[in-house]
A and B are shown apart, each in its own frame.
Chain A
Amino acid sequence: AQSVTQPDIHITVSEGASLELRCNYSYGATPYLFWYVQSPGQGLQLLLKYFSGDTLVQGIKGFEAEFKRSQSSFNLRKPSVHWSDAAEYFCAVAPSGTYKYIFGTGTRLKVLA
């Protein structure tokens, strides 16, 4: 069965520090991969997505993610975190051509001033 693992439930970083949020998936073929962000009381906003092609994907708000097939990973990175990045981040996977998104359990990011 397909699954998504976000091993870090909480992460705390200082403002200006770099960030990496981990995501691992279990799926036989290359799925569609997504990162969403959810601010408190808000819906989920798409940060970036990977369908095919270049394995380094650029998203909004200065985020990027790299698809590594050999590691079944799709980690999210940002070189310098801003206080406004404090939120919960969800990785999601969908088998190619389907809408059956499977979401990870989320990583809550706290940013220290």
Chain B
Amino acid sequence: GESVGLHLPTLSVQEGDNSIINCAYSNSASDYFIWYKQESGKGPQFIIDIRSNMDKRQGQRVTVLLNKTVKHLSLQIAATQPGDSAVYFCAENIVRGNYQLIWGAGTKLIIKP
């Protein structure tokens, strides 16, 4: 069925390096994708989004890439900092007439000092 999934459940990165978190989606009709960050004990926070008419979008230290050909989404975090430690979720909007977001399982990002 339709789903959004993450390739790696846990990602360990050296502080200062770049992080890349991947996400696969299965519905080619999806037109809106969002990345969220969830720190321990908190609700998910919006990081960045991208619509299907784009293939790249940049924010502050973050970049989201969308490859519609292979139905793949990635979040790149530049110069990873200890504060980036969190679980990252991708979400996909499937327009079924009711605008429901479909969530991936999450990737835990661990920063090594």
The reply to whether chain A is a binding partner of chain B is: no
